[in-house]
Amino acid sequence: MPESGVPAPDIFINTRQPRRTRQVKHQIIEMKLNGNGVRDIARVLHISPAIVIRELKKISQIGSVNQKLLPTIQSE
């Protein structure tokens, strides 16, 4: 227990950076699939449009890798 007498939390959740949570990443994906724009997603989730774009780029890179591997998996 810290000196203040308050027990330390078991799990550290960074509330200053909501973009880091899986839930927000899933919401970005769902909103984009529903046709929402980058600015709309950023406004609803209270994050920067740059963060939304960065997360969408990460998702598209993962998708392109999977598409490249798909023919090799299907041929086996």
Tell me the per-residue pLDDT of 3-17, one tens digit each, with 9 for 90 and over: 566 665 544 445 566
Q: Please list, in sequence order, all residues whose beta carbon lies within 8 angstroms of the beta carbon of residue 25, skipping any fewer than 6 positions away.
A: 19, 55
The token pair at 44 is 């609803």
Tell me 19's DSSP state: G
* pLDDT band, residue 43 (cuts 50/70/90): very high
Instruction: Kindly list the domain boundaries of the chain, sorted by start residue.
Output: 18-75
d(CA 58, CA 32): 14
Res 21: pLDDT: 79
Average confidence score pLDDT of the chain = 75
